[in-house]
A and B are shown apart, each in its own frame.
Chain A
């Protein structure tokens, strides 16, 4: 597995094994903030950014833990790393781009509890990716996340004008749409040949 090409890793994380539709990671923002295309795109971008930063940090921390011989602390240190990198990203954005900070708003701190971020850190160590592969993986996962969030939001925005029975409206309809999207993404399974 560590010999996968960078593009293979990217396509695998982005389309074939999409984090939301194939691994069911980050379902909470997927159902929660996909009512409008604009907010969902912002959320997706924020997640992508944090994924990239925390993936780099996790790579370093994992090397340190292995060197110290304490792999059982992996989970705890990853969580701490993610929480602090979210905090750091928040401070940096606030300092250098107040406009972006305002537009991201409450989404930024909420990303800490997004399981997709932790999953990127866990999967990349599980598969033994190198540094560049980790970057490609995080970038792919983030792009896939953004893509699905925006797709879902545009479908749901149009659903507002559809005549849906009252007992299906809302969450039920969201799950049905997600299921259909997931079926569509299964079509990517033969692509890239990453697995």
Chain B
């Protein structure tokens, strides 16, 4: 049961990043990442639901019978999502309009159910909170990476503030749906390149050592 506590938190941010490594919960990632603000809000909303539902799942773990666990998790998640939905509406109607149905659709985000089933249902409350917080943060960072790039290229601004001068011609395709697919492909490509470079350098080091041993 004992897990390295720091690792539990950081693995969601980097090694097992839900967006770029696990490629989970793609629907909201692509749909609401057209501006940096939207993507950040969506990320935080998802992270909140993730942390709260993981806590409750882990806490109620001895009570929930195994046979109906998935249904119970979904009910728990749906409750928090409804709370978030009304919360965002209370804070900013404009933001609520921009995110639209995608707030409600957090319910069927595979990351949340995935963490509830794979981690929270098997570990203590404290570990579950840390895991959920790490995953939530990783998800937010992933969303922000996409949203930032798309807003920068598609509207020439970041968080609504103009970055480039007046002479910048916005690349409108990037804020439209195809831009989401292309930006995601570009990020995954960068990550793949990095991975390949690391594997190549490891291999090179190994052969170097082997030749050194041989001589």
A31 with B23: CB separation less than 8 A: yes
What per-residue 1/0 map shows which CB atoms of A167-186 lie under 8 Å from chain B?
Answer: 11001110110111011001
B110 with A172: CB separation less than 8 A: no
Size of chain B's interface in residues, with CB distance under 8 A? 39
B74 with A83: CB separation less than 8 A: yes
A119 with B185: CB separation less than 8 A: no
Size of chain A's interface in residues, with CB distance under 8 A? 37
Whether A75 contacts B178 in the complex (CB less than 8 A), given A83-B71, A175-B188, comes out as no
What per-residue 1/0 map shows which CB atoms of A145-184 lie under 8 Å from chain B?
Answer: 0000000000000000000001110011101101110110
A24 with B81: CB separation less than 8 A: no
B104 with A75: CB separation less than 8 A: yes
Interface residue A132 (Cβ < 8 Å from any Cβ of B): no
- Select B196's contact among A25, A126, A167, beta carbons within 8 Å: A167
Interface residue B125 (Cβ < 8 Å from any Cβ of A): no
A75 with B108: CB separation less than 8 A: no
> What's the minimum C-beta distance from B149 to chain A, rounded to whole angstroms?
14
Report chain A residues within 8 Å CB of B74. Answer: 79, 83
State which residues 12-36 of B face A: CB under 8 Å.
23-24, 26-28, 30-31
B26 with A118: CB separation less than 8 A: no
Q: How far is the CA of A27 from the CA of B182 in the complex (A)?
A: 14
A171 with B188: CB separation less than 8 A: yes
B192 with A168: CB separation less than 8 A: yes
- Select A119's contact among B26, B85, B105, B179, beta carbons within 8 Å: B105
Interface residue B128 (Cβ < 8 Å from any Cβ of A): no
B101 with A119: CB separation less than 8 A: yes
B86 with A123: CB separation less than 8 A: no
Q: How far is the CA of A35 from the CA of B40 in the complex (A)?
A: 33
Interface residue A22 (Cβ < 8 Å from any Cβ of B): yes
B82 with A72: CB separation less than 8 A: yes
CB-based nearest A residue for B71? A83
B27 with A24: CB separation less than 8 A: yes
List B residues at the A interface (Cβ < 8 Å): 23-24, 26-28, 30-31, 71, 74-75, 78-79, 81-82, 85-86, 101, 104-105, 107-110, 113, 173, 176-182, 184-185, 188-189, 192-193, 196
8 A/B residue pairs, CB under 8 Å, sorted by A? A27-B26, A119-B105, A122-B101, A172-B189, A173-B185, A179-B185, A182-B181, A183-B173
